[in-house]
Amino acid sequence: MNLPWHDALLSRFRQLADKGELAHALLLVGETGIGKKECLYSLASSLLCEEGPLLVCRHCHSCQLLAAETHPDIHYLVPEEGKAGITIDTVRAVVEKINQTAQVAARKVILVPDAERFNRAAANALLKSLEEPPPETFFLLSSALAGRLPSTIRSRCQIHALNSPTREQSRAWLQTHAGDQAAIDELLSYWPGKPLLVAQQGQQWLERGAALQTAVSATLAGKGTPGKLAKQLSGYSLSDICADYYRLLLEMGRFLAGLDSAILSAELRDAVHKARPNAFNLLRHAQDVLGLSRAMQAGSFLNEQLASESLLAELQACIEQ
């Protein structure tokens, strides 16, 4: 996948690889939705291509194996199905493979697209290989949460921060990769600089956002109980609802302060204007929503229906106080 905003960095990596000067362990850090994984894979393709590393021919035997997802010299460190983190057994299996001779290409590549998901034992099991890898072996890691990586992993990698694309770059790329062209600007207002996230989740976000704004509008207008309105959101995950709702509350606060918002629907603007919820209470409520999101990220399990009801009930309280 061609991501023009990463071209300069990829070109630099390829030139270093051609000179034999590429670091054996790279960690790419940056926000979700900017193409970190795609950048890793593009570099891996260059390293494995028979005509590489300055290019990817897409015709050689190695490139054909990559396209078929059957290349024996590329290995992935990802969580096993049903597990949240990368385990020590997964690491040991990959380390055993990379200590063998490459089967097709001149190099071996290990991709770690979500490096923050190592558990401590798995990270420790990888340290020796990271520090003293077999010849022509490259570890390519990426993370949107690099601060969660053990310092022992970070210190053994050369770290590069990936830039987010500009709005113009995002829009140009989405014009050939997104289904709903009319919604591009709206989605980029919500996810600025994250075109891959827009392309992957944009339509679902539009549907979820519309349902959420309808439920919030009805809550502010007193047109239903929190329990009844929460059922309209039951088809969406609570973590997604919380993320959208937090942003929505902040936009409502901006609107109350007299600032324009490209996100609020006409229905919700009207409901906010008529209900005039207390701005301080809205901000406090937004902080509670953020706390709920962080609790779920930390592994807390909640009854999603009851949690959605509670959020809407707290919104009602912002009007009544």
Mean pLDDT per 10-residue segment, the chain (321 residues): 91 95 96 93 96 92 95 95 89 95 94 92 94 95 90 94 93 80 77 88 82 92 88 86 90 89 87 90 91 79 86 86 60
DSSP string, 57-115: -S-SHHHHHHHTT--TTEEE--PPTT-SSB-HHHHHHHHHHHTSPPSSSSSEEEEETTG
- pLDDT for 200 equals 83
Are 27 and 134 in a shared domain?
yes
Are 128 and 33 in a shared domain?
yes
Total tally of structural domains belonging to the chain: 2
First to last CA, the chain: 52
Are 296 and 155 in a shared domain?
no
Cα–Cα–Cα angle for 297, 208, 175, rounded to 5 degrees: 100
- pLDDT for 132 equals 93
Are 191 and 304 in a shared domain?
yes
Nearest to 98 by CA among 77, 118, 79: 77
Burial of 84 (0-12, 13-18, 19+ CB in 10 A): exposed
Residue 269 belongs to domain spanning: 168-320
Decide if 144 contacts 31 (C-beta within 8 A): yes
- pLDDT for 113 equals 93
CA distance 266 to 270: 6
Are 44 and 78 in a shared domain?
yes
Are 154 and 215 in a shared domain?
no
Are 305 and 287 in a shared domain?
yes
Last-in-domain residue among 104, 139, 164 = 164
Decide if 242 contacts 296 (C-beta within 8 A): yes
Are 24 and 103 in a shared domain?
yes
Are 214 and 278 in a shared domain?
yes
Last-in-domain residue among 164, 194, 214 = 164
Are 140 and 211 in a shared domain?
no
- pLDDT for 103 equals 94
